[in-house]
Amino acid sequence: MTGNRSRVALSVEDLRVHYHTERGAIRAVEGVSFDLLAGERLGLVGESGSGKTTTAMALMRLIRPPGRIESGRAQLGDLELLSLSDEQMRQARFAHISLIPQGVMNSLNPVMRVGAQIADTIQAHEQGPGGEKMRARVSDLLSLVELDPDTAQMYPHELSGGMKQRVGMAISVALRPQVIIADEPTSALDVVVQKRVMDTLFRVQGELDAAVILVGHDMGLMAQCVDRLGVMYAGRLVELGPVQQLLEQPLHPYTRLLVSSLPSLDRRGEFRGIPGLPPSLLDPPAGCPFHPRCPEAIDGCTTKIPGLTTVVADDDSARIERRAACHLHTGVTS
């Protein structure tokens, strides 16, 4: 696509993932749609069980039984990820869309040298780069994430958490994918290291011109890192918009409560928790899943599920479009 509108890197439409248990289907992801723009950083926040990690895993087609992708489309360039054959999907992984999984620092094979694990990823997708050429490529990748090229000869247990995180990053960009999904990439790191690791990730992203989906629950990290933010609740995307506006003027009552519950360096001795509990995904309440906890619920909320609709639109750029799934915001303004 050309023109004023931003180019879309990945378009997700009506994604549904259910886990089939003896007690019924757990609707982990229920109709999630969003566009990821080229080169942008999109955040996905939500509490545990809100479906953010399941969404990420579904895009990588890594949902395991009893989980199943029930429906949806995920258009990445010419590829529709959800309808590829298993072998095609294997080839697409990390070549077109890559993942820094949660806890990547503990996901490296303990008995293989780090360099071999980077090389593995490359060899799985390309014919025959070997020997000296491969070694040079691994070295370059390690330098790219600010690690010494000699790190290739080390075993994971010889590296610190932050270094292993960087190795995960090097693997995720090894094949220059268009989209990188990073699932809580810094949650196990100390704040000081966290900042350094995120700085590296975004520098590398810029050099590759890739788009990033950052999955997490730390609103502070999101505020500092992403361009647009999606808020998930009970398997649904309830709000999506530019991060600054979303934080300053949240549209959805859940987002509003979430933002006001955050600690800041302005208020002391004041706590605003969200009352109530997230709903069961096995037997969600009728209507809007948030209505039992919503202070602004109106009549329709108990019966009708609100769809994600555009609240603030701009013809020029999808980057400033704001969407919310709430009966309080049905009309489009601009």
Partner 1 sequence: MPADYLVRRIAVFFIIVWAGATINFFMPRMAPVNPIRERLLQALSFGGAGKTDMEAVVATYEARFGLDQPLWKQYVRYLGDVAQLDFGVSIAYFPSKASDIILRALPWTLGLLTVATLIAFALGTLLGALLAWPKSPAFLHYLSAPLLALSAIPYYLLGLVLVFALGFTLRLFPLGGGFTLGTLPSPTFAFAMDVLYHSIVPGLSIVLSSVGFWALSMRGMMVTVQGEDYVNYAEARGLKSRDVFFRYALRNALLPQTTSLALAMGYVVSGAVLVEVVFAYPGVGTVLYRAIQTFDYFVIYGVVVMVILAIALVTLVLDIVYPLLDPRIAYKR
Partner 2 sequence: MSASLLEARRVRMEFGGGLFERQRLVAVQGASLQLPADRPVVVAIAGESGSGKTTLARLLLGMIPPTSGSILYQGTELKQLDRSGYQVFRRQVQAVFQDPFGVFNPFYRVDHSLELPVSKFFPELTRDQRRERIEEGLRAVGLRAEETLGRYPHQLSGGQRQRIMVTRALLLDPKVIVADEPVSMVDASLRATILESLFRIHRERNISLVYITHDLTTAYQLSHTILIMYRGDVVEVGDVEQVIKAPRHPYTQLLVRSIPLADTKRRWGEDPDGEPAPSQGGAGPETTEQALSIANGTGGCPFADRCPHVMASCQQTNPSLVLTDPGRAAACHLYEEAPALSAEQIATLSHGGTEGT
Q: Kindly state the tokens that stand for 228.
A: 């647009």
Query: Segment 46-105, which members bind partner 2 (CB under 8 A)?
Result: 47-48
User: How many amino acids of this chain bind partner 2 (CB under 8 A)?
Assistant: 45
**Residue 1 or 191 with smaller CB distance to partner 2:** 191
Q: Which does 207 bind (CB under 5 to 8 A by kind): partner 2, partner 1, none?
A: none
Q: Are 157 and 110 in contact (CB under 8 A)?
A: yes
Query: Segment 142-161, which members bind partner 2 (CB under 8 A)?
Result: 160-161
* Positions that interact with partner 1 (CB under 8 A): 60, 62, 90-95, 98-99, 101, 103-104, 106-112, 120-121, 124-125, 155, 157, 171
- Least distance to partner 2 from the beta carbon of 129, Å? 31
Should residue 333 be labelled a site residue for partner 2 when binding is judged by CB under 8 A? no
Q: Which does 132 bind (CB under 5 to 8 A by kind): partner 2, partner 1, none?
A: none
Q: Which residues sit opposite 242 in a β-bridge?
A: 228
- Least distance to partner 2 from the beta carbon of 53, Å? 13
Should residue 219 be labelled a site residue for partner 2 when binding is judged by CB under 8 A? yes
Q: Kindly state the tokens that stand for 128.
A: 């025959």
Q: Kindly state the tokens that stand for 32.
A: 């999630």
Q: Which does 257 bind (CB under 5 to 8 A by kind): partner 2, partner 1, none?
A: partner 2
Should residue 220 be labelled a site residue for partner 2 when binding is judged by CB under 8 A? yes
Should residue 273 be labelled a site residue for partner 2 when binding is judged by CB under 8 A? yes
Instruction: Look at residues 131, 139, 166 and name the one whose alpha carbon lies nearest to residue 123.
Output: 131
Stretch that binds partner 2, among 57-65, 123-131, 191-199, 323-331 (CB under 8 A): 191-199
Q: What character string, x for contact with partner 2 (CB under 8 A) and - otherwise, covers 225-264?
A: x-----------------xx--xx--------xxx-xxxx
Q: Are 38 and 51 in contact (CB under 8 A)?
A: no
- Give residue 82's identity as a one-letter amino acid code: L
Q: Are 135 and 122 in contact (CB under 8 A)?
A: no
- Least distance to partner 1 from the beta carbon of 120, Å? 6
**Residue 142 or 240 with smaller CB distance to partner 1:** 142
- Least distance to partner 2 from the beta carbon of 228, Å? 12
The rounded distance, in Å, linking the Cα atoms of 115 and 174 is: 12
Should residue 224 be labelled a site residue for partner 2 when binding is judged by CB under 8 A? yes
Q: What angle do CA 242, 243, 247 make, to 5 degrees?
A: 120
Q: Which does 62 bind (CB under 5 to 8 A by kind): partner 2, partner 1, none?
A: partner 1
Q: Which does 104 bind (CB under 5 to 8 A by kind): partner 2, partner 1, none?
A: partner 1
**Residue 11 or 107 with smaller CB distance to partner 1:** 107
Tracing tokens 């969407």 back to the chain, one arrives at: 323
Should residue 39 be labelled a site residue for partner 2 when binding is judged by CB under 8 A? no
The rounded distance, in Å, linking the Cα atoms of 29 and 70 is: 9
What is the maximum span of the chain, computed from C-alpha positions, in angstroms? Answer: 68
Q: Which residues are near partner 2 by CB under 8 A?
A: 47-48, 160-163, 190-196, 217-225, 243-244, 247-248, 257-259, 261-265, 267-275, 277-278
